[in-house]
Amino acid sequence: MTSDVTSLFHPGQHLLRELDFTGEEWRDLLELSAQLKAAKEEHREVQYMRGLNIALLFAKTSTRTRCSFEVAAADQGAHTVYLDPSGSQMGHKESVEDTARVLGRIFDGIEYRGDLQDHVDTLAARSGVPVFNGLTDDWHPTQMLADTLTMREHSHGRPDGEISYAYVGDARFNTGRSLLVNGAILGMDVRIVAPRALWPAEDVIAAARGRAAESGARITVTEDTAAVEGADFVHTDIWVSMGEPKEVWAQRIELLHDYRVDEDLMALAGPEAKFMHCLPAYHDLGTEVGRRIHERFGLEGIEVSDEVFEGPRSIVFDQAANRMPTIKAAMVSALGRV
């Protein structure tokens, strides 16, 4: 690891939402991610978190987020305690404020993954220790670090300002909102492509445009799928989010059937475009949800076709793997000891 890695540390910094960061701070996390990833691959990792304890508070379950936090902490010599949706009293017999004050006196840092942004904000305000947002309905900052590291790696050294990406699908929630803001902070060319009813909220678009004015980013929010033309990367996400009732599937498919990422849409992006998805993806009949949708609507791949997902331009598993070094960077930056 390079000798100046600790210059990228920001002690005590929470990771709650992208808008809390300056462009320099966000780039520091990405640079630290790349350095920590290289250090592990080259068997020269330094443990900056030895002896620390991290609470993993999951109101929503996850494969990538949990595994990334646990492996990242173990690599760095820290210990984790996993609290699943039934593993704490938060919101049931104990308030979020009281849970924050308890956990903050036992742990050195807290990860939270759940519905409400207010919960992760309260944990940060009341615990006294760094808090890391593993996902809320509003924001997904750990995913953005992984996505951006992946796009950088597949852009072969081009600066952020020369990278373009499109997000196609339901853009109202965490992934669409965060991709919009992430690119705005870094000066990228960001296109949000969705039916108007599924655009990010106006205040989010306004905030992104404000950050774009500072960074030189190009922001497009449109219903027209032609906006993917020339994009380096095409992102999508599932069409029905965790916690939404199954009854909304028919409505969502009606709204989004023209926004499915298939070979035609990828061809519109161009022959060099890469496909990205934060996962899990309904791309085949290998899931219970996928089979139910196939039986009811005849789709054998919902937000993305299996041909695209399994094709040579898909980099979704590079993207998934990058959750670990980027989450490691967030923790090391906030908690690392020299």
192: enclosing H helix or E strand = strand 189-193
Residues sharing a CB contact under 8 Å with residue 312, sequence separation 6 or more, in sequence order: none
In the three-class reduction of DSSP (H, G, I as helix; E, B as strand; rest coil), residue 27 is classed as helix
323 is catalytic: yes
Nearest Cα to Cα of residue 265 among 37, 257, 289, 51: 257
The single residue of 232, 278, 283, 319 carrying the catalytic annotation is: 278
278 is catalytic: yes
Residues sharing a CB contact under 8 Å with residue 214, sequence separation 6 or more, in sequence order: 23
283 is catalytic: no
The single residue of 113, 191, 252, 260 carrying the catalytic annotation is: 113
The single residue of 66, 119, 140, 172 carrying the catalytic annotation is: 140
234: phi then psi, degrees, rounded to nearest 5: -120, 120
Contact 304, 275 (CB under 8 A): yes
The single residue of 35, 76, 143, 319 carrying the catalytic annotation is: 143
The single residue of 177, 235, 237, 277 carrying the catalytic annotation is: 237
Question: Residue 174 and residue 15: Cα distance in Å, rounded?
Answer: 14
Contact 304, 277 (CB under 8 A): yes
The H-assigned helical ranges of the chain are 23-41, 64-75, 96-106, 117-127, 141-153, 174-186, 202-215, 249-256, 263-269, 288-297, 306-309, 316-321, 323-335
DSSP states of 129-157: S-EEEEE-SS--HHHHHHHHHHHHHTTTT
67 is catalytic: no
DSSP states of 74-127: HHTT-EEEEE-TTSS-BTTTB-HHHHHHHHHHH-SEEEEESS-HHHHHHHHHHH
Which residues carry out catalysis? 113, 140, 143, 237, 278, 323
